[in-house]
A and B are shown apart, each in its own frame.
Chain A
Amino acid sequence: MKNKRYLAGPYLFWSVSFVVIPLLVIVYYAFTSDEGGFTLVNLAEITTPENLKALGISLLLSFVSTVVCLLLAYPLAMILSSKNMNQSSFIVLIFILPMWMNFLLRTMAWQTLLEKTGVINSVLNFLHLPSLEIINTPYAIVLGMVYNFLPFMVLPIYNVLIKIDKDVVNAARDLGANPVQTFLKITLPLSVPGVISGITMVFVPALTTFVISDLLGGGKILLIGNVIEQSFKQNSNWHVGSGLSLVLMVFIIASMALVAKYDKGEEGSML
């Protein structure tokens, strides 16, 4: 038993060096001024109108993206889980194949597709159809978020659905429930854990992203991620950047806690 503890050594070293210490450094920067004294000014930066707006837009767009992902992913996961093993693993493969391509490249591809003189508009022009002007708008950002994060919603829901015993669904039908009733009363409640982890896995990266808004928003729409990026890179103000990061972290922790609480409540009622 004692020897096994040493096996955790490398991980411990890793997490202390690259997780705990950097986090402490961020906390240090967040609570200190350029002169090195203690201050809350950096945290208060979030209350400036521009930053509040960025946070608001970030929350809104990630919320919308999460909802869109959920609406797209659930039916897809249902279809996948109802197929037999060979078919579904092939479809799942097709589905996660884009994930093997670099994230940046995928987003840049959308930029090329959506540009005013991009691929989609060229085709539309050729067909004498009105051109699509969504590049550099929130719609393009939501599109980018949905495209990039959709698999993270599909997989957890698929995993939960596939574990639901077919006979449980059959039992509901047997007891008189029609397909809609069966879905609402049996399949949906039983898949809640998968939905919750899908929401977490889409909402959190969507809230913190700055690459998608950079490439598809054309720098016109600032998300909180962009604000943080700018304070580090353009303004070289590590203190404000750290302060804002910390505030965002609080938001994420709060939303995770909310989800976890709901999740536990679900499981509690299952026991």
Chain B
Amino acid sequence: MSNKLIDFVNITKSYGTQTVLDDLNLYIRENEFLTLLGPSGCGKTTTLRILGGFENPDSGHVIFEGKDITNLPPNKRQLNTVFQKYALFTHMTIAENIAFGLKIKNKSKQYIHDKIKYALKLVNLDGFENRMPESLSGGQQQRIAIARAIVNEPKVLLLDEPLGALDLKMRQDMQYELIRLKNELGITFIYVTHDQEEALTMSDTIVVMNQGYIQQIGTPEKIYNEPENAFVADFIGESNILPGLMLEDRLVKILGIPFPCVDEGFGRNKPVDVVIRPEDIDLLKPGEGSIDGVVTHLIFKGVHYEMEVMANNYEWLVHSTDMFPVGTEVSIHVDPFDIQIMNKPESEDEEAVNIEE
């Protein structure tokens, strides 16, 4: 997991006046499941297409195994792509689709036959050789697209929102399928999505992007538990993001009330953003916690109850398996290590801070 397989160096790309990627630097290790996560227009798909060779960056280099591949056409790159809308060849059978790349490389008939069998087995679609793509469901077509890519034994598989067009149940099944495939093939997966749940479930590393900048790189746990800025905190999961004042190390003032926390090194009396996840808030009897308030909303969500608590003029989002009816007087308590302190962006534009690795 330590070798740099792919290295994006100072990649910039704009369409007309719109800058999609601004001086992007990112490396990807061998055998990594890396997810580019962000809202639409954040530059994640452009990054993938530059790696696939379908777009050229305005400036910067793409290094693959130490070689500059920035100007290499897609057919000369040792990686394969699974496209968002499958992009199967509708005039060919499933077998012909899967064989396409191998026939181009003049592999033997027997080799191609074996590869088709192997790939169809791998994606659980044995016996589909002679079907036409349009007779398959969306999920099946997507698996054929994956099979078509992996028979070429790429070092890297690029997946561009491959589950976007599938329904929820199918999407969840496919997530496990992809993790299994990744482990069986032992290759690098680079996955693009705007779905934070997909990213958290499958990735070794998540790269959160916004407005052409990388916001944070880290493991799913790190991204979720220790977001580096308000954008990441807001985009990944639900959260209470409050303005705060760092009084001193390990003490932050939120809504006029000092909370003990575990963060250090922000300085004295420094304005900060504070993230508190709704499931990290404990509701106690009035007077027992840090701030007293009243439950204003209650929704049953299945796994937990979602409540809103009005306290010190702020609506706290709270997830709890205990139910407190609307109107109940409660007190909010947060453990020090559940309080995440982040630097405040210095301006509106800085919302999309460019964080160097």
Contact = CB atoms under 8 A, between A and B. Distances in A.
Interface size class of B (residues with CB under 8 A): 20 to 34
A79 B85 CA distance: 24
B240 interface: no
B235 interface: no
Contacts of A35: none
B104 A167 contact: no
B87 A171 contact: yes
Contacts of A1: none
Given A167-B83, A172-B89, A271 B135 contact: yes
Interface stretch (A46-54, A176-184, A239-247): A176-184
B75 interface: yes
B135 A173 contact: no
B91 A269 contact: yes
A178 B89 CA distance: 16
Given A170-B74, A175-B100, A270 B83 contact: no
A41 to B, nearest CB: 49
Given A165-B85, A270-B134, A271-B135, A173 B73 contact: yes
A185 B96 CA distance: 11
Which of B53, B74, B81 counts the most chain A CB atoms within 10 A? B74
B105 to A, nearest CB: 6
Interface in B57-97: 73-75, 80-81, 83-85, 87-91
A171 B81 contact: yes
Given A167-B85, A170-B74, A170-B83, A176 B105 contact: yes
A186 interface: yes
Given A165-B87, A175-B80, A190-B90, A170 B75 contact: no
A175 B84 CA distance: 16
B131 to A, nearest CB: 10
Contact of A167 (B87, B90, B101, B148): B87
A186 B87 contact: no
B235 to A, nearest CB: 26
Nearest to A178: B75
A267 to B, nearest CB: 10
A189 interface: yes
A167 B91 CA distance: 15
Contacts of A171: 81, 83, 87-89, 145, 148
B52 interface: yes
B52 A174 contact: yes
Contacts of B81: 170-171, 174
B90 A270 contact: yes
Contacts of A249: none
B152 interface: yes
B83 A189 contact: no
B93 to A, nearest CB: 9
Contacts of B74: 170, 173-174
Contacts of B87: 165, 167-168, 170-171
Interface in A249-271: 266, 269-271
Nearest to B93: A269
B247 interface: no
B152 to A, nearest CB: 6
Nearest to B98: A175
Contacts of B145: 171
Which of A170, A175, A190, A269 counts the most chain B CB atoms within 10 A? A175
B27 interface: no
A270 B85 contact: no
Given A165-B85, A167-B84, A173 B75 contact: yes
Given A171-B83, A176-B105, A186-B89, A270 B73 contact: no
B159 to A, nearest CB: 12
B132 interface: yes
Contacts of A269: 91, 132
A186 B103 CA distance: 14
A176 B83 contact: no
A176 B89 contact: no
Contacts of A177: 75, 100, 104
A138 B133 CA distance: 47
A270 B52 CA distance: 28
A190 B91 contact: yes
B64 to A, nearest CB: 15
B89 A174 contact: no
B54 interface: yes
B132 A170 contact: no
Contacts of A189: 91
Contacts of B91: 189-190, 266, 269-270
Given A171-B83, A175-B148, A271 B75 contact: no
A185 B99 CA distance: 13
10 contacts: A167-B83, A170-B52, A171-B145, A171-B148, A174-B53, A175-B148, A176-B104, A177-B100, A178-B73, A270-B90
Given A165-B87, A170-B87, 9 more contacts: A170-B74, A170-B81, A171-B88, A174-B80, A174-B81, A175-B149, A266-B91, A270-B90, A271-B132
Q: Which 10 A-B pairs have the closest CB atoms?
A: A175-B101, A167-B87, A173-B74, A171-B87, A167-B83, A176-B104, A168-B87, A174-B81, A176-B75, A189-B91
Interface of A: 165, 167-168, 170-178, 181, 185-186, 189-190, 266, 269-271
